[in-house]
Chains A and B, each alone.
Chain A
Amino acid sequence: MAALCYLLLACLTIDVDWTRAAQGLERGARFLAGFSRPDFLTRWSDISQGLLESLAMTAVATCIGVLISLPVAVGAARNVAPLPIYFSCRFVIVLSRSFHELIVAILFVVLVGFGPLAGVLTLSFASIGFIAKLLAEEIESIDRDQVEAIRSSGASWPQRMIFGVLPQVTPRLTGLTVYRLDINFRESAIIGVVGAGGIGATINTAFDRYEYDTAAAILLLIIAIVLAGEYGSGWLRQRLI
């Protein structure tokens, strides 16, 4: 009943300009037509530049993200970290996860200026929350006996981490890295909308100019790269894990 009331209220408060929407259908048809003859050539230099930038940002950001995630994940695992460190690392994770990439991108653009570096920082920051959270859960469920065995051989704390914990979570870490690589590429395609580099700016311009054939071409390329990445990561995961 409450749900129904809410739905009614929600539907009443959206005002849709139906005449505008009707006009839109004709534009939608033009966009679909654009898909049947995508225009790769007119803006090819912009498109290839944007895609390369997206790929470069993805690679660098994933690397930085993983490197920072490792200590954060260890700190956020209740079974290896003391309470104060646990809470500060959990705070970092929550902070990173509650903001959408675009919002983070806006702030980084303000701080370091337009360009791919802002995008790299954004994607790295977003990767931390994702990888550290899932890796911390994995660390929390490791087999304690192995760590205990290494400890009883007189190993120091870093040695326990490297020889007791790390080997148990490496497969998961590899899987998460490949998965995040995929996500980072998808996200790198949109943060250009706010000026943080990558193909997003090109897409935005294409839509603003109503160049649907170019927009369709870019979308097809993104889909192709995402699909290639999905098959590639599946293959890689089988080989590595």
Chain B
Amino acid sequence: MPVLERDGEPIWRRRTGTAALGRWLAWLTVVLTLVVAWRYVSQQTIWEFVWDGPRQAADLVTRMLPPEWSYMDHLWRPLWDTVNIATLGTLLALLLATPVAFLAARNTTPTWLMRPPALLVIVGSRSINSIIWALLLVAIFGPGLFAGILAIAFRSIGFIAKLLYEAIEEIDTDPVEAITATGAARSQVMLWGIVPQIMSAFAGIAVFRWDINIREATVLGLVGAGGIGLQLDASVASLQWARVALILLSIIALVLLSEIVSARLRAASN
């Protein structure tokens, strides 16, 4: 703790002069950035619409209530599709991410040359949101479930591979050495030394990502990639707010259900 000498008396201070100045400058930068950013947002906003917001909100609520329960008959299929997009997308991603993870992990990569491309796949997949993947894949393959499944899979590869290769790098080396010492081939070392150690991490990651993917799958339809989002988009576009309310309720129910299922799965795998 720095001490300032004044009139022969030591004065205790929390920070040195330069540290205090540095902190002050850092805060100044943050505040200035916020002010500039807010000015920009404010300029782009038509404030008359905003002041009208509360009235619009009240109006919206009266239009949403009561939800159009009879529309539920048309929602079962999209909900089923949504779950399928998430599940099949996650499975496909697991299939594709596992080799990438083994190539990216320092202790399992066959040559160091394979690491940079594997890491590039991980970064590229992670930086692009699943909605953007969906936009791209819908443009390529046309609207539908297939584009949605691929979008979920492509976004999940990076996520799963990153967590999995970190798990692989953290394994205990003793069992691997023991199996190598018995004269096992590379594939046998992999199968008996490494795979058993990462199985629980693998299961955890899969369930975690599936839970996230359910949420993501509910909106893919907004860009045409299938699932309940299609109905949501259509109902919003045609101002059928009573239907929108029902769709939102069914999405909450689906998300809560997926959370319960994933909690069960996690408990079962531990």
Contacts and interface: CB of A to CB of B under 8 A. Distances in A.
B44 A111 contact: no
Interface string A167-199: 000000000000000000011011001100100
Interface string B227-255: 00100100010000000000010011001
25 contacts: A7-B88, A10-B88, A13-B84, A14-B146, A20-B142, A21-B142, A24-B142, A25-B140, A27-B139, A27-B140, A53-B41, A59-B33, A100-B215, A100-B216, A102-B222, A112-B53, A113-B50, A115-B44, A117-B41, A186-B127, A186-B129, A189-B129, A189-B132, A197-B41, A197-B44
Given A56-B37, A98-B256, A222 B127 contact: yes
The 3 closest A-B pairs by CB, nearest first: A113-B49, A56-B37, A24-B141
B56 interface: yes
Interface in A207-236: 207-208, 210, 215, 219, 222-223, 226-227
Contacts of B152: none
A203 B44 contact: no
Interface of B: 33-34, 36-38, 40-42, 44-46, 49-50, 53, 56-57, 60, 80-81, 83-84, 87-88, 91, 123-124, 127-129, 131-132, 135-136, 138-142, 144-146, 149, 215-216, 218-219, 222-223, 229, 232, 236, 248, 251-252, 255-256
A179 to B, nearest CB: 14
Contacts of A204: 135, 223
A25 B142 CA distance: 11
Contacts of A125: none
A17 B84 CA distance: 17
Contacts of A10: 83-84, 87-88
A112 to B, nearest CB: 5
A223 B46 contact: no
Interface string A106-120: 110011110111001
Nearest to A210: B139
A7 B138 CA distance: 24
B136 A207 contact: yes
A14 B216 contact: no
Contacts of B222: 102, 106, 193-194
Interface of A: 6-7, 10-11, 13-17, 20-21, 24-25, 27-28, 31, 52-53, 55-57, 59-60, 63, 98-100, 102-103, 106-107, 110-113, 115-117, 120, 186-187, 189-190, 193-194, 197, 200, 203-204, 207-208, 210, 215, 219, 222-223, 226-227
Nearest to A120: B41
A119 to B, nearest CB: 8
Contact of B248 (A55, A56, A99, A111): A99
A131 B216 CA distance: 19
Nearest to B33: A59
Given A103-B251, A112-B49, A194-B222, A59 B37 contact: yes
Nearest to B232: A103
Nearest to A62: B34
Nearest to A63: B34
A235 to B, nearest CB: 13
A188 B38 CA distance: 15
B135 A103 contact: no
A56 B219 CA distance: 24
Nearest to A118: B45
Given A57-B41, A189-B129, A117 B140 contact: no
Given A17-B142, A31-B140, A56-B37, A219 B132 contact: yes
Given A60-B37, A111-B60, A193-B223, A20 B141 contact: yes
Nearest to B91: A7
A110 B127 contact: no
A56 B81 CA distance: 36
A223 B124 contact: yes
B141 A21 contact: yes
Nearest to A190: B131
A208 B41 CA distance: 26
Contacts of A190: 129, 131-132
A223 B128 contact: yes
Nearest to B54: A111
A14 B132 CA distance: 21
B40 A215 contact: no
B116 to A, nearest CB: 14
Contacts of A15: 144-145
B144 A16 contact: yes
Contacts of B146: 14, 16-17, 21
